[in-house]
A and B are shown apart, each in its own frame.
With several copies, the nearest count.
Chain A
Amino acid sequence: MKKIINNPEMVVEEMLDGFVKAHPNYVKRVEGFDVIVRANAPVKGKVALISGGGSGHEPSHGGFVGKGMLDGAVAGAVFTSPTPDQIFEAIKAVDGGAGVLMVVKNYTGDVMNFEMAAEMAEMEDIEVTSVVVNDDVAVEDSTYTTGRRGVAGTVFVHKVAGAAAEKGLDLAEVKRIAEKTIANVRSMGMSLTPCTVPAAGKPSFTLAEDEMEVGLGIHGEPGTHRDKIQPADKIVDHLLDKILSDIDYSGSEVAVLVNGLGGTPIMELYVMNKRISEVLAEKGIKVHRTYVGNYMTSLEMAGASISLLKLDDELKELIDAEADTPALTQF
């Protein structure tokens, strides 16, 4: 395992510390907890947004704490959902009296832990509600199963719902917008290499030199299938095919996120975007805005995901709204 770390057990602690030291104008840490909140939290009278999950997805979620996006983020151990007590601290630290919306990615652990935290908050009369992001089209949706995973599309939920909260909308409205965003965002990813959880010390899976893993999540878990490495255009076509056949994007405007999983050069993400823009143009889908970079990563995994958010006028205004956070600034 090759990592610039001190102690696998201390990596989240030290990361959070280094994060707060880097961005004191944006964020502060809730003393004694793995919780990052806005430097000026709680923002009085504003609906607060929190998110979180296992660590290892940096800059998610702490990097999106700031004006126009999240109010707080909870960091679990690497790839491990945070515990209810930590989430509860975040809720308390951000609640400005207008209620708290939790943006949860659809994983058994995340859902349960956030749910338990909400139960704790209710006992203290804090209004808490949640939305569950499940944008990954790699997995069939089904009521008999856990359903789809939440992956990079979550960043769009932070952006859009965060802008709605910043505008002063109430909890029900912010939740409605978050749910609309979730209903309109689809993602799919692939990888060329595994990643190594520091405490595990060895790669999450092995791939031959000519193989890639397709349809995988963001926790180093294997994907839906393994394939020979394809040229970038073929990879893009496959990912887009799954996304575009899941909801009807035709004739609409979209926001695109070409997301790196942590170990892929930005160069390659742009090579992908060339093909993405071609395919969307062919299909008459208009690109309103494109984000390219490492937004929701899997440690040092080489790979990428594509997310498409279908926009209407309401979502368009919110995706274009100002944001000022350590990892995403937009004016």
Chain B
Amino acid sequence: MFNNKILINILSEMADVIKENRGLLTDLDQAIGDGDHGINLDRGFSALKESLDSLKDKDCASILNSAAMVFISKVGGASGPLYGTAFMRAGKEIAGKENITGEDAINMFNAAIEGIMKRGKSDKGDKTMLDTLIPAFEAFKSAIENGDDFESISEKTLEAAKEGLEYTKTIAARKGRANYLGERSIGHQDPGATSSYLMLKVIADVLAKEL
């Protein structure tokens, strides 16, 4: 059963993975952006990790809401408000809920993406985090609706995420800082799409252990 303990594990693990990949994300951002994506996320996740202890008795919705506030107030840049909004919207979907079902998971994921799209005025194909998240969501949704087992859901979701991430290399950016590079952004993997992939991977890994 998904619960607040697992959620806190996920967030804590995300913080570690982002810290490990701080250099990678920053390098990717130096190539087509301003070279701070790893630094930004690490600053946010480090602050989040420190606060997790104080959140351990809260419900999942509150934890996500607190995580959102930390992101919004610590990260800055484009990714701060976007990931912050995503966490906030996801949390809203399960406000007051005890049991979090597969359908809730779909709603949360969907709400997170919609939040990003609205806040960022962006969509699939703009070479952003959405190119990881939207395909992943679609695969996730159809696998659940298909009645797949956890392993298969997880595999299909990550595969689609990975494909979307790879796809960002082939297109020119239309949103975010990389947009200013025009055609020169082709060939480079989007940093936000990369961090989104890493975060999805953490969710899958932790759930594989915990469920």
Q: Are A and B physically bound partners?
A: yes
* Interfacial chain B residues near A19, Cβ < 8 Å: none
Check A40 for interface membership: any CB of B closer than 8 A. Answer: no
Partner of A80, one of B32, B40, B181: B40
Tell me, in angstroms, the Cα distance from A146 to B79 when the chains sit together: 15
Determine whether B175 belongs to the interface, using a CB cutoff of 8 Å to chain A. Answer: yes
Whether B34 pairs with A219 at a CB distance below 8 angstroms is yes
B146-205 residues with Cβ-Cβ distance < 8 A to A are: 174-177, 179-182, 184
In the complex, which residues of chain A have a beta carbon less than 8 angstroms from the beta carbon of B120?
108, 112
In this complex, what residue of A is CB-closest to B74? Answer: A83
Is residue B101 within 8 Å, beta carbon to beta carbon, of the partner chain? Answer: no
Residues of A within 8 A of B34 (CB): 54, 79-80, 197, 204, 217, 219-221
Q: How far does the alpha carbon of A284 sit from the alpha carbon of B79 in the complex, in Å?
A: 46
For residue A220, which residue of chain B has the nearest CB? B34
Known contacts being A80-B77, A113-B81, A205-B30, is A219 close to B177, with CB within 8 Å? Answer: yes
C-alpha spacing A145/B36, complex, angstroms: 21
Contact A77 B181 (CB under 8 A): no
Is B175 a contact partner of A145 (Cβ separation < 8 A)?
yes
- Least CB distance from A119 to B in Å reads 11
Is A25 an interface residue when CB atoms closer than 8 A count as contact? Answer: no
Task: Check if A108 sits within 8 Å of B176, measured CB to CB.
Answer: yes
The reply to whether the CB of A199 lies closer than 8 angstroms to some CB of chain B is yes
Chain B contact surface mostly: helix
A138 to B120, CA, bound (A): 22
Closest B residue to A196 by CB, please name it.
B35
A contacts with B: majority SS: loop
Contact with A along B7-44 (1 / 0, CB 8 A): 00000000000000000001000111111100110010
Cβ contacts A271-285/B at 8 Å (1 or 0 each): 000000000000000
Contact status A199-B77, CB under 8 Å? no
Identity of the chain A residue whose Cβ is nearest the Cβ of B128 in the assembled complex: A108
Interchain CB contact under 8 A, B179 and A224: no
Contact B35 A200 (CB under 8 A): yes
Q: Is the CB of A144 within 8 A of B174?
A: yes
* Cβ B174 vs Cβ A200 within 8 A: no
Check B56 for interface membership: any CB of A closer than 8 A: no
Partner of A146, one of B72, B73, B119, B175: B175
Chain B window 81-123, contacts with chain A (Cβ cutoff 8 Å), 1 for yes, 0 for no:
1100000000000000000000000000000000000011000
Those of A58-114 within 8 Å (CB) of chain B: 76-86, 107-109, 112-113
* C-alpha gap A141/B35 in the complex (Å): 24
Query: Within the complex, which residue of A112, A205, A217, A221 is in contact with B78, where a contact is CB–CB below 8 Å?
Result: A112
A220 to B26, CA, bound (A): 13
Verify if B135 is at the interface (C-beta below 8 Å from A): no
Q: Is B174 touching A197 in the complex (CB atoms < 8 A)? A: no
Nearest B residue to A203, CB-CB: B30
* Inter-chain pairs besides A112-B81, A146-B177, A221-B35, 11 sampled, C-beta below 8 Å: A54-B77, A77-B40, A78-B36, A80-B77, A83-B74, A112-B120, A113-B76, A139-B180, A197-B34, A200-B39, A222-B31
Report B's interface with A, CB cutoff 8 A: 26, 30-36, 39-40, 43, 72-82, 119-120, 174-177, 179-182, 184
